[in-house]
Structure formats: structure tokens, C-alpha cells
Structure 1
Amino acid sequence: MKVSSIWEVLRVSAKLGLTSFGGPIAHLGYFHDEYIRRRKWMDDKSYADFVALCQFLPGPASSQVGIGIGIVRAGIVGGIIAWLGFTLPSVIVLVLFALLMQGFDLAHAGWIHGLKIVAVAIVAHAILGMGQKLTPDKERITIAAAAATLTLLWPAAYTQVMIILAAGLVGLWRYKRNPVIGGQTIQISVGKPFALTCLSLFFGLLLALPLLRQWVNNDWIALFDGFYRSGSLVFGGGHVVLPMLEREVVPTGWVSPADFLAGYGAAQAVPGPLFTFAGYLGALSHGIAGAVVATVAIFLPAFLLVAGVLPFWNGLRGSSKVQGALVGINAAVVGILLAAFYDPLWTTAILAPADFALAVLLFIMLVFWKLPPWVVVAAGAVGGVIIGLL
């Protein structure tokens, strides 16, 4: 492993962390441009297969892709550096925003309500884009509709996991005979013993932390458990984590519903992964140390899973059964995102006709005028102030 390779990974990932606006789907486009088209660290087919694999894994898909490319390029250290470069810029901004929220009690400000409406427009755009790609036929649209219905009618902690597993089985049954197109074999520097250790640690923490939380009445263990579980059990990443995080921090009283949605709106204004929203929540509830714990906890499952599956990737990607399961899972992710769009986003942000009008305008600015996300966020904040004055 060369120091120059690690430095190169840090330089490129930090650039992406500072400039990658637009959410997980846009991030994958930025990654392709920087890592694949410009630097050719992986061929196009291998990149597409790896993206599909990360969609199959729980956690933030775009961050997992970045971590995996970092590992391929410069080993485990490269994966850590790729994550730091892509993640830290937005974590820092959101933590500062959380401290500002605490110091000035901005939860009911008009521009904060505008940020909530921005979140409605951005998630609607994400659903539109994902739906067009991942649910192009009546079978997959049916899977998505069923996933949305079950998510809304059965809001239990493990509902999403059961939906994903069921969708994977349906995809395996329906699409397992689809042809598999191969790519080049990628050399992975991670050994299988280390990979199995990572997978064991992933499942061990997932099972042990809730028990430890019950036995030991400690806020920090509860905080780590809540965010680790959210990072471990949410498929699709990005916006899909919203309902699970809401269930972890709002009922416990750590974060108010208004502050939660205000931060989610602010998370749309910064580049990098949406999972950095955890830094905001941790800072709001437990200060700077809470931001560090929440950020590490929510991203740790992603790192353990990517490091755990990469050595087996070349074999998995050639399986028509695995790819068939992925088809069903991707359709279910669209449905889960649709459910999150309704509750809590729509139900808490669209409270009057003026809110709906602003959401439509922001959606048009984002989708049809193709304005940069930061412009849409600024317009939403100004619109929220104007609505508050009406």
C-alpha cells in the first residue's frame, strides 16, 4: 500500500465531500465521473455491479460505494480515508447548525419551515428518479406499492427488514433467469479471515447492543445502539433512514419533532451523504461528543459490511439468483421511500395551501429548471419566511 495512493484517495474523496450535492443517486454519478471515467480505478460494468451490491446491503449506499472503491484502491486504510474525506465536510456544517439551533431557538422560525418544505420537494424528486429506473414494469410497481402500504400500516421496528427480505424472495423467484453480464475481475487486498471478522462484528454488535442497552441504563450506550441499529437495518440509505431515526430520537425526547425536520431540511443544503444527519442529531441531543458517537455508530455498519463482502464480491456478482433478488429489493426501496415521503415529511411540512404551492415551485426548480440544490434550499428558506409573514 503506497502513501501516494492513500493521499490520492483523500484528495479525491475530500473534493467529492465538498461538491457532491443532490443526494445518493447524484453521488453515484459524481463517483463515476471522478473514480471511473477520469481515473479508471474500476471498469464501468464492475462499478455498476458494485453499486447494485451496495444497494442490496443495508446502510448508506453511496458511502458504501465510496468506501469500497477506497479499499480497492488503497486497502482498509484507503476505505477509512475515502469515508472521512466524503463525510467530514457535511458533518462539520450540520454540527454547527445544531449548535446554532440550540443557542437561538430557531425551531419555529419561518425559514426552518421552508427547509422542511424543501425536504418534501427533494424526496419527491428522489422518488421520481428511482421509480423510473427501479420500477419500470407492473410487477416491480406492485412490489413498491405493497412495500409502501406495509410500511405505513405496520410501523414496527423491523418492518423494513421483513419487507426487504420478502421483496428479495419475490425478485429471486421472478427474475432469477435474467441474463448476467460479467465484468473484469477486481483484485481485493482484504483477506477472507479479516472479512469474516468484520461480518461477525457487524452481527455481534447488532445483537448485543440492544441487550446491553436494556441491562445498563446509560445514555451513551442507548445513543450508540440507536444509531448503529439505524445504519444496520435501513436499506436504500439516504431518505429511507428518516423514519427509523425519527423513532430513535423523538420519542426518547432527545430531539423535538420540529428540530428533527429542521435538521433534515438543512441536510439537503450540504454536500456529502445524508447519513451525516446523524451528526446533527447527536450534537443536538448530546453535544459535540454526541455528534462523534452518532456519526461513527451510523456509518460503522456500512464499513463492516463492505469490508466483509468485498472478498466474496467477484463470486456473488456472477450469480443470476443474487441479481434477481436485487431487482425485487430495489423495487421495495422505492416503496419504503414513498411511505417516508408521506409520513413524516408531508404530514409535518405541508400544513396549508401556501406550503403546497411552495413545494410545487421548489419541485419545478429542481426537476425542470435543473437549478443547483443549494439554490433550491435558499429559495425554500426565503419562501418559508414569506409564508410566515402572510
Structure 2
Amino acid sequence: MTKQTRKQKKDKLSLRTLFEIFIVSTRLGFTSFGGPIAHLGYFHEEYIRRRKWMDEKSYADLVALAQFLPGPASSQVGIGIGVARGGVLGGIISFLGFTFPSVIALIMFAVILQGASIGEAGWIHGLKLVAVAIVAHAILGMAQNLTPDLQRKIIALCALVGTLLWQTIYAQISIILLSALIGYFIYKKQAIQENHASVHFPISKKLGVICLTLFFALLLLLPLLREATSIQWIAMFDRFYRAGSLVFGGGHVVLPLLEREFVATNWVSAEAFLAGYGATQAVPGPLFTFAAYLGAVINGWKGGFIATVAIFLPAFLLILGTLPFWDSLRHNAKVKGALMGVNAAVVGILIAAFYQPIWTSAIIEASDFVCAAILFSMLAYFKLPPWMIVIAGVLGGTLWSLL
């Protein structure tokens, strides 16, 4: 085989891999309802259980990293999986596939559905029940692998209790840091043999440093540039970029920041803001795509595009900047113990999020529990793909609302 033939074969495999990433991530982008915790459940089912693109512990490590970083955790996990599968371009394609279905839908909402009341629709409630089934299935799988001993079960329980009873913006990051410290002291002297494949993130440390430098440079320079000019799109880019840079704890935390940046300053009316929030609950994908709606309200589809780029750019720069260092750190003997504590804490945090807001907003009466149990059985026992669970939930919720 000649060198040129080998190169052509490699290019063909790369294109096939990128196309596969695009198809799978786009399907998830059209079907992943229920918020960031549900998205992690969808990712776990599709990428880990079905396609084996990453082993369980590597996925848990990636989730733990995303919990450390500001920004939309589920989007960062999706980017990381895309990078592991197809390099930086794979990460970009994974992000586009997962994000742009909801971006396009919300820009359309901004144009034709402002002020529409969709929060009480039967199919919306059906999607909430789908989220219950998906997240429950993911938690059971992750708990089995990440909390096998009593010590890690206790860490997960404490993380659950702390997350539910100490609801501040610092709770999640504090719990993760404390769990890392506990895990380090408990497991640092144990020679634990972990039977999982090593996942390589094909990003150089030089590129990682560039991304992290660009993240902080934009965070510092954009406000100065906004003050020095009167260009509206620069001011809008700065507001969305800052919101995406300073959010820990998931998509819902970004709402008060966006409200302060755009409603309090009269860029967007309170009525339009609330209507857009309702629309965001009705579409799949990350909650950060609410920015696309706000941008479209401010300046049409171009504003929607600028807002989307601005609010997701910090997450993209941070995950690409940290992955090359994370890949080596997570295999360090001393870091492994800390990660074992962090991964156990992540299970507790997921269970807490499963209760509030997923369970409390979906399971109102006995019929809701019955529907959720049926959907869970379809996923866990009949092994049906998640997109079929979504369709069943939508149809069931719509039919039930008509009775």
C-alpha cells in the first residue's frame, strides 16, 4: 500500500467518523429534552451504553471536569466526547449537532411565538416524564460503577444531602472540592486496579494554553471595548459572553444573569423574557440556547446567531483548554483517589437534581408515576432507543391531556 493510498484511506475514515458524530449528535439535539441532567442521561445511553465511544469511568471523569468548569456542563461533555472521537473538529461538529436544532427553533419562536402560552401543553408534561425515565436509568448505571463500596456510597449520600439543603451558587463546586479531598485521603494509598481503556484527547497543550488565554483575554477586554465604542453587537456579545463565563451549576443559574443584563437594562421586556423561557422549556438541547431567543428579539436572526456564539464560546474555550491537561492528570496515581471521591459526589448531585427539579415538576399524581415507570421499562428492559422514548412520552402526554 502506497503512502498516498494510506493517506486517502485515513482521510476516508476521518470523514466517516466526523459524519457519524454529526448524525448521532444531531439526533440527540432533536430528542434530548429535560435539561442538563437529562442530557447527561441521554449521552450516557447513546455514547457509552450503545456505541461504547468511551468507558464508564472516563465518562464520569469528563462529567466531573464539566462540573468544575463554568458554563453548560452537558454541552461541554458533548464537546469532550466529540474531541475524543474525532479531534477538535469532532468536538465542533458534536457541539453544532447538539445545539443548533434548538437554536433554530428558538429563533423561530422569537419571530412567531412571543407571548404564546405553551407551558401547560400535554406534550410538555410528557417530555418531563421522559426526563424522569432517562435520568433514573442513567443514575442507576453510574451509581453501580462509581459507588461500589460503602465509603463512596456515603460520599454520594452526603453530596445529595448537601446539594438539596445548601442551595447556593457555591454549593456544587464546594461539594465537589470537598469530595475530592476526602477521596484523596481515603484512596491515596490503595493500589486500585481500574479496568478501563485510556481515552486520548487529541489536543496539544499549546492549543490548550491558547484557548485558556483567549478565554481570560476576552473576559477582560470585551467590557473595555464596549465602553470605548457605541457598537450594539459588541455590547451584546460582551453581555452574553460574561453570562456564559460566570455561571456554575447548570443552565437555570444563567437565567438571573440574563435577566439582569437584558430585562433590567430594557433591552428585552419582562413579558418577552418569560415567553422565551417557556419556549426554551419546550425545545430539546441545552438551556443556554435561550440566548438565541433573546438575541433574535433584540436584533433578528443575526442577533440570535451572535448571542449563541457569545454565550457558548467560554464553555468551548474552557473545555478545549483543560482537556489536554486533564487527560494526563486523571491517570496520575494521586489524582485518581480524588477523582474517585468526585465521581461518587457527582452521583449524589445527579440524584439531587433528579429529585429537584425533574421529579418534583413531573410526578404530580399517580398517573404520572405510572407513565414514567412504563417509559423507564421501555428504556431499561425492552432496550428501546431514547428517541422512541421521547416519541412515546410526547404522544402519551398529548393523549392524556385530551382525556
After TM superposition, the score normalised by the length of structure 2 is: 0.71
8 Å CA contact 1:121, 1:360 repeated in 2: yes
Deviations 1:314-358 (A, max 9, x none): 642441112222111111111111111122222222222222222
- Structure 1 gaps, min length 5: 37-43, 235-240, 268-273
C-alpha distance in 1 between matches for 2:143 and 2:223: 34
Aligned position for 1:382: 395
Aligned position for 2:20: 12
Q: Which amino acid aligns with 1:16?
A: V
Aligned residue for 2:246, secondary structure, equals helix
C-alpha distance in 2 between matches for 1:81 and 1:295: 15
Q: Give matches, 1:154-303, under 5 Å.
A: 154-176=166-188, 177-179=190-192, 188=202, 190=204, 192-202=205-215, 221-230=238-247, 233-234=248-249, 241=250, 243-245=252-254, 256=274, 263-264=280-281, 266-267=283-284, 274-275=285-286, 277-279=287-289, 281-287=290-296, 288-289=301-302, 291-293=304-306, 295-297=308-310, 299-303=312-316
Aligned residue for 1:116, secondary structure, equals helix
C-alpha distance in 1 between matches for 2:132 and 2:114: 24
Aligned position for 1:327: 340
Give the direction of change, closer, same or farther, for the CA distance of 1:89–1:130 in structure 2 (3 Å limit): same
8 Å CA contact 1:67, 1:83 repeated in 2: no
Identity across matched positions, percent: 41
C-alpha distance in 2 between matches for 1:157 and 1:17: 30
C-alpha distance in 1 between matches for 2:259 and 2:371: 27
Q: Give matches, 1:43-192, under 5 Å.
A: 51=59, 53-58=61-66, 59=73, 60-71=76-87, 76=88, 79-81=91-93, 83-85=95-97, 87-89=99-101, 91-92=103-104, 102=114, 104-176=116-188, 177-179=190-192, 188=202, 190=204, 192=205
Q: How far did residue 246 of structure 1 move?
A: 5.8
Deviations 1:367-386 (A, max 9, x none): 22222222222222232233
Q: How far did residue 128 of structure 1 move?
A: 1.6
Q: How far did residue 208 of structure 1 move?
A: 8.4
Q: How far did residue 65 of structure 1 move?
A: 2.3
Give the direction of change, closer, same or farther, for the CA distance of 1:145–1:78 in structure 2 (3 Å limit): closer
C-alpha distance in 2 between matches for 1:183 and 1:382: 40
8 Å CA contact 1:134, 1:327 repeated in 2: yes
C-alpha distance in 2 between matches for 1:212 and 1:163: 37
8 Å CA contact 1:120, 1:341 repeated in 2: yes
Aligned position for 1:24: 43
8 Å CA contact 1:124, 1:341 repeated in 2: yes
Give the direction of change, closer, same or farther, for the CA distance of 1:23–1:92 in structure 2 (3 Å limit): farther
The aligned length equals 356
Q: Which amino acid aligns with 2:26?
A: L
C-alpha distance in 2 between matches for 1:15 and 1:373: 15
Task: Give the counterpart of 1:362 among 363, 371, 375.
Answer: 375
Task: Give the counterpart of 1:349 among 349, 352, 362.
Answer: 362
Deviations 1:167-208 (A, max 9, x none): 111111122233466978969563x44422322344566788
Give the direction of change, closer, same or farther, for the CA distance of 1:334–1:94 in structure 2 (3 Å limit): farther
Deviations 1:292-315 (A, max 9, x none): 355435543443234323444564
Cα RMSD, aligned residues only: 4.1
Between structure 1 and structure 2, the one with the greater Rg is 2
Q: How far did residue 118 of structure 1 move?
A: 1.9
C-alpha distance in 1 between matches for 2:347 and 2:392: 27
Deviations 1:6-64 (A, max 9, x none): 7455423212223456612134338955xx6xxxxxxx8xx778645523322332321
8 Å CA contact 2:56, 2:145 repeated in 1: no
Q: How far did residue 165 of structure 1 move?
A: 0.9
Q: Which amino acid aligns with 2:344?
A: A
C-alpha distance in 2 between matches for 1:293 and 1:306: 20
Give the direction of change, closer, same or farther, for the CA distance of 1:99–1:127 in structure 2 (3 Å limit): farther
After TM superposition, the score normalised by the length of structure 1 is: 0.73
Q: How far did residue 108 of structure 1 move?
A: 1.9
8 Å CA contact 2:375, 2:389 repeated in 1: yes
